[in-house]
Structure 1
Amino acid sequence: MAELKTTHWSHKYTKLQIKAPNKTKTQEIIEKALETQIKIEKHVKQNPEFLRSLKPLEKDERNHIGPIKKMLRASNKTGVGPFAAVAGTINQISAGNINEPVLIDNGGDIHLQGPHTYHIKINAGKASLSNQIALEIKRDKRPLGVCTSAGTVGNSLSMGEADAVTVIDRDTALADAAATAIANKVKHQDTETAIKKGLDHADDLEIQGCIIIKDDQIGTTGRIPQINLIKKTK
């Protein structure tokens, strides 16, 4: 299986780590990511609330196309603002032809596709399990989103206290928004109860699966990839 080449690219709030089979595919992803971000920025300029809102704005996303439609749909399905899906949306649209193996990581929100075996570590900040487990994902052509939100790690807005909430779904935009929505629920209780509350909310959403890490505990629900422990090096 051919090795994927890694490239880093950033523009304003988009910071991509791209793994693709060749420079041509990488450039296609970058051009599509920039085009998608410009469309989103244009919509925000005309509708500032699209950026600021923490709840759904429009019940019927069919009045829109492209990234705006995807973000509104994810927002409506999860109850959070449309910008909670921005990274997943840019990744998903930029990836292009599903026959080619591609991984796009946008600040912990990952879109992958194509025939390849991927290993995704979960960063959970200072939690004991942080970077100690990895998802082993064997793909054919079908795309998959693996998106992580946290209340203790990173710059993204979260109202919860989870060290990591990772959502797995075929729709990367939905996985991104759902991770935020679930992470918001993990708070104000003992660790086990807080995780259960988050998992209960995950079960209410139309997603494939969810992993929650808080303190030294982990909980899962739905269909998730194989979880492997990473051996600590001395």
Structure 2
Amino acid sequence: MKENIRIKETRIKLTTDIKDHGLPGFILKERLLLEDYIRRKPHFLTSLEPLPAQDGPTIVRMMLKAGLIGGVGPMAAVAGTISELSLHYLMDKGSRYTIIDNGGDIALINDRKVNIGLYAGDSPLSGEIGFQLKASRKPRGVCTSSGTVGHSISFGRADAVTVFASQASIADALATSIANAANGASDHEAVENALEKAEGFKDYFHGILVVVGENAGIIGRIPKLVKTDKKVTIGELWDV
């Protein structure tokens, strides 16, 4: 089953083997918990720095933890956290194949190979390459941050920083943090600075791809790169 779910700022492309899943209601509940927390503690919404761990609903505690790991504000992890929570909700219903793409921040479990296309703005690599993920019984996160695409705050100029990790919440925060470091006198230097920043997070990711213009760099182990069609980008290329 494939469908789009839109709840306020949340924009999810869902592929799942679960019928009558009730995911929109679950997402709405989690969003209401987060919004209530922000009303009581508005600094949570605006902080660009990590905040100390606090009591709160699961969504808040996950975002705080991810922000502390990545050295960024908790809202940097909101999309990945919603994806991760939604994935576990469907896994509890027995799912073995679910892909939740929340604006490019993906949580998935897959019992077959999956291709995910790369969208990197005006970079020549955008839409030309993708990642082939092997089947896995364990949930994973694939999150992308950009300084040239989208409305999220970024202090760098990366066309794409894609992070592969066990948890989408942490992958989201790391992608933001590493993308912030993608600066320099040249595109090559920007990639090097981003990869240097990534070195400090080695305990929390499987692999990272950084793209700035025609330059790209990799740290750790990323899935197999595959050739894709220019028309195909993230969220539009799934099954092998």
Q: TM-score, normalised by structure 2?
A: 0.89
Cα distance in 1 between the residues matched to 2:72 and 2:223 = 26
Cα distance in 2 between the residues matched to 1:32 and 1:189 = 46
Asked if 1:21 corresponds to 2:13, the answer is no
- Structure 2's unaligned 5+ residue stretches are 232-240
The letter for the 2-side match of 1:43 is Y
- Picking from 208, 212, 215, the partner of 1:214 is 212
**Paired residues for 1:117-132 under 5 Å:** 117-132=113-128
Q: Quick check: 1:30–1:94 contact (8 Å CA) kept in 2? A: no
The letter for the 2-side match of 1:57 is L
Asked if 1:38 corresponds to 2:24, the answer is no
Identity of aligned residues (%): 35
The letter for the 1-side match of 2:103 is G
Number of aligned residue pairs: give it.
225
**Which structure has the higher relative contact order (CA within 8 Å, separation 6+)?**
2
Q: Quick check: 2:97–2:108 contact (8 Å CA) kept in 1? A: yes
- Structure 1's unaligned 5+ residue stretches are none
Give the superposed CA RMSD: 1.5
The letter for the 2-side match of 1:120 is I
CA 1:213–1:112: 2 relative to 1, 3 Å: same
- Picking from 218, 223, 226, the partner of 2:224 is 226
Asked if 1:153 corresponds to 2:149, the answer is yes
After the TM superposition, which of the residue ranges 80-89 and 194-203 deviates more from structure 2? 194-203
Q: TM-score, normalised by structure 1?
A: 0.91
Cα distance in 1 between the residues matched to 2:193 and 2:184 = 11
Q: Quick check: 2:143–2:162 contact (8 Å CA) kept in 1? A: yes
Which residue is equivalent to 2:136?
A: 140
Asked if 1:184 corresponds to 2:153, the answer is no
**Paired residues for 1:58-207 under 5 Å:** 58=52, 60-61=53-54, 63-95=55-87, 96=89, 97=91, 99-205=95-201, 206-207=204-205
SS in 1 for 2:173: helix
